[in-house]
Amino acid sequence: MQITLQTFGAFRQFGQNIALELSADAKVADIRAPLIAALAEFSASFDIAGLVDSSRFATETEILAEDVVLKSGSLITILPPVSGG
């Protein structure tokens, strides 16, 4: 199945959207490895794997638990960690 990741923050340098091909029964946790592999071809000024591992995924209405089963064609937002002061 294919999903689309909408990017924000540090991920925006890789494009506004990233398409990923996942297995038919993929869960949210299954996004991380293919995303890291897809972004590995780019050079970045930060640890891509570390940022992906500390990010969360969401729909328009909720932050998704790691065990949620994805649907083909889903638009998922990747939420990098933020800090403020």
Residue type, 44: A
The predicted pLDDT at position 22 comes to 96
* 36-46 tens-digit pLDDT: 999 888 776 77
CATH topology for the 2-79 domain: Ubiquitin-like (UB roll) (3.10.20)
Residue 81: pLDDT band with limits 50, 70, 90: confident
Cα dihedral sign for 85, 58, 17, 24?
Answer: positive
Task: Kindly report whether the global pTM for this prediction surpasses the value 0.85.
Answer: yes
Mark residue 15 as left, alpha or beta (left: phi above 0; alpha: psi -120 to 50; beta: remaining).
left
Where in the chain are the domains?
2-79
